[in-house]
Amino acid sequence: MPAISRRSAVLLAAVTATATATGAVQWAPSASAASTVDWNSDWAAAAYAANPGAATASGSENAGLGPGLAFDGNAATRFASNFADDAWLRIDLGTTIRVTHVVLTWEAAYGRRYVVEVSADGTNWTTVYTENAGTGGTVTIHTYPQPSLGRYVRLRGLERATPYGYSLYSFQVFGAAPTPASTAVANLALGHPAYGNYYQDAGHTPQNAFDGGIPSGLTGDTTRWASDWNDQRWVAVDLGATSRITAFDLYWEAAYAVDYQLQVSADNRTWQTVYQPTAAQVAQRAADIGTPGSSTGIHDSITLPSPATGRYVRMLGLRRRSFYNPAPATAQFGYALYDFQVWGTGGSATAEYPAAPADPAGTYQTVFFDDFTGPGLDRGKWRVVVTGSTMGSVNGESQAYIDDASTLTVANSQLLITPKYLPNGYTAPGGGTYHFTSARIDTSTAVNFTYGRVSARLKMTAGDGFWPAFWLLGSNVDDPTVSWPDCGETDIMENIGYATWTSSSLHGPGYSADGNIGTIENFPAGQTIESWHTYSVEWTPSAMRFALDGTQYLEILRRKTEATRGAWVFDHNQYVILNFALGGAYPAGYNQVTTPYWGLPQSSVDKIAAGGVTFAVDWVRVEQLR
């Protein structure tokens, strides 16, 4: 097996460590740098400079605001369309590229709803981005994982935000020309479809590892694939056709793999390992424990002892590098690759991403329902969570969840969760003392489902720091190779004690915790959380649509999420959760309370102690299209 080496920081910019078939390390000037493309070029600006006729539009406000002004590289000039919702602006790039991202810089007359599309012929268009709630400004749109090969790129308006047309200071297009089928040795991965199991956010997708971008010094955040923080992560490329593969170049950021495998496959299912560093090489890489702020990347150049054959190639990470953070403690982050080059012959430039799954047809039918008419909680439908046994404490909350009639009851065809104040403390199983008890139930052991309409009729007690919630959680949350937020979380209703509003949100990689995608919904005048309301979400392959009493107030689109935030992790099972938390991160972020409990003021403690603070559930329903 060929050897692998680690470049020293001193020699980083000048030399490459090459692993030969005999295992010897050879230091030589880097030859591949001269062949890298300018990954950071604005293809639209270059096309317009070469041919002003490449920029066209449905119409302009006047002759002085023509389409070319969006592509002229001048931040002071702008294009303004005709005054119509369906106006459009188009650029002919002159050659086919894989569009990796588009940057729109809006003037005050921006689009509220619009799409960005690519086309091979200027007639048939593929949507790579859908905006349903535009706010103007500068919008960076990543196309991964949408089909994105094209010569033409178009912004097509659906709804203006002002009475004027659509007005853009700039419309930039970035990408790479994919390597075509080649009989000469070439980097067959450049500009080809990329895949990975997990990535950090929309700015660090697998596609970044195949755009030809290699920053000077192998440092900085630009043009890199970055996984989440787990050893078993991979990044792969589709070469388009069966290829004869002879060598690889991997340009790592400081967060490189200590141990990994390079694999090939004919069908993207069965993999053959063609390279893995030796135990001695792994030990050498593991011994280099840098600091996050000062470490630079390395370049692994690998020549196979004999060619491999396959259409798909992947790097399977087995062990991540460690960092002093701070010394003497160590930490591990994800894997990060600036560029992954696959050298050989064969391939094809026509490979493309599959289209996103379409929304199913049919009518909704109930697959789960509970209206709590029995003498007690139906344990065949609900699991009762216990802090210290089923789960640990989270979010800095003050309560312990218990399985006891003091906090969880069914009465008068209602489920009631009633937190209790215990000034002398409650000791949870396994230890830990809490001054409050409450309840949390879920359907994880009974009902897990993908897609559907989920609703519940609820009412709550207002009070600072009270945090009742009705939500869904990815069924793979307890898989240690997944966990949160990669499992996905759908918050249908969260209230943090304010009587006149509630909130809904999604959490996933690149949009979790305070960075979630969501909104606050205010109740109509005169209505509060203390009256009965129906809260729901319609979950489809393309979107999450949240509603209050049957009126939709939030739509989170898959394409928009993938293009601007991170991976859409809502194509697998979730389960239903009802719980009543007290204090913690979300309430504290609003009420700024720190004593006597984080996010929970004394007035709310007194209210719990007096009794009557309740989260009431009339019914819960899950429907699916049939």
Q: Tokens 């719990």 correspond to what residue?
A: 608
Number of helices (H), then strands (E), in the chain? 5, 38
Q: Report residue 273's pLDDT band, with 50, 70 and 90 as the boundaries.
A: very high
**Per-residue tokens: 328:** 């003497």
- Among 1.10.600.10, 3.50.50.60, 1.10.150.20, 2.60.120.200, name the CATH number for the domain at 373-625: 2.60.120.200
**Per-residue tokens: 206:** 């697998």
Task: Report CA-CA distances (Å) from 487 to 235, 365, 474, 517, 569.
Answer: 19, 26, 5, 15, 7
Task: Report CA-CA distances (Å) from 581 to 147, 401, 438, 475, 613.
Answer: 43, 9, 7, 21, 12
> What mean pLDDT is reported for the chain?
93
Residue type present at position 171: F
**Per-residue tokens: 381:** 């439908």
Secondary structure, 3-state, 210-273: HCCCCCHHHCCCCCCEECCCCCCCEEEEEEEEEEEEEEEEEEECCCCEEEEEEEEECCCCCCEE
What angle is formed at CA 199 by the lines to CA 195 and CA 201, rounded to 5 degrees?
A: 120
Count CB-CB contacts under 10 A for residue 473.
21
Q: What is the H or E stretch that residue 490 is in?
A: strand 489-494
Strands 433-438 and 399-401: parallel
Rounded to whole angstroms, the Cα distance separating 109 from 557 reads 23
Report the DSSP beta bridge partners of residue 522.
501
Q: Tokens 């009729």 correspond to what residue?
A: 457
**Per-residue tokens: 220:** 């900085």
**Per-residue tokens: 133:** 């709630």
Per domain, the residue ranges of the chain are 43-176, 181-346, 373-625
Rounded to whole angstroms, the Cα distance separating 251 from 266 reads 25
Q: What is the pTM of this model?
A: 0.92
> Residues 272-276: what's their mean pLDDT?
98
Does the structure show a pLDDT above 60 at 362? yes
Does the structure show a pLDDT above 80 at 34? no
* Closest listed residue to residue 312, CA positions, set 274, 257, 338, 277: 274
Q: How far apart are the first and last CA of the chain?
A: 54
Secondary structure, 3-state, 565-585: CCCCCCCCCEEEEEEEEECCH
pLDDT digit string, tens, across residues 431-461:
999 999 999 999 999 999 999 999 999 999 9
* 533 touches 540 (CB < 8 A): no
Q: Tokens 């792994």 correspond to what residue?
A: 282
State percent of the chain over pLDDT 90: 92
pLDDT digit string, tens, across residues 289-303:
999 988 999 999 999
pLDDT of amino acid 430: 87
> Residues 358-367: what's their mean pLDDT?
96
Q: Report residue 14's pLDDT band, with 50, 70 and 90 as the boundaries.
A: very low
Does the structure show a pLDDT above 80 at 36? no
Q: Tokens 């009705």 correspond to what residue?
A: 470
Q: What radius of gyration, in Å, describes the C-alpha atoms of the chain?
A: 28
What angle is formed at CA 528 by the lines to CA 521 and CA 511, rounded to 5 degrees?
A: 25
Rounded to whole angstroms, the Cα distance separating 615 from 409 reads 11
Does the structure show a pLDDT above 80 at 23? no
* 338 touches 214 (CB < 8 A): yes
Rounded to whole angstroms, the Cα distance separating 540 from 524 reads 27
pLDDT digit string, tens, across residues 487-509:
999 999 999 999 999 999 999 99
* Closest listed residue to residue 224, CA positions, set 324, 347, 100, 105: 100
pLDDT of amino acid 213: 94
Count CB-CB contacts under 10 A for residue 365.
10
* 472 touches 410 (CB < 8 A): no
286-302 burial by CB neighbour count: b if 16+ within 10 A, else e? eebebeeeebbbbbbbb
Does the structure show a pLDDT above 80 at 542? yes
Domain covering 181-346, topology: Jelly Rolls (2.60.120)
Does the structure show a pLDDT above 50 at 15? no
State percent of the chain over pLDDT 70: 94
Task: Report CA-CA distances (Å) from 589 to 370, 485, 583, 592, 598.
Answer: 34, 20, 10, 6, 10
pLDDT of amino acid 293: 86
3-state secondary structure of 515: helix
> Residues 466-476: what's their mean pLDDT?
98
Rounded to whole angstroms, the Cα distance separating 337 from 150 reads 26
Does the structure show a pLDDT above 60 at 50? yes
Domain covering 43-176, topology: Jelly Rolls (2.60.120)
Does the structure show a pLDDT above 60 at 511? yes
Q: Tokens 């719980």 correspond to what residue?
A: 579
Report the DSSP beta bridge partners of residue 231.
none
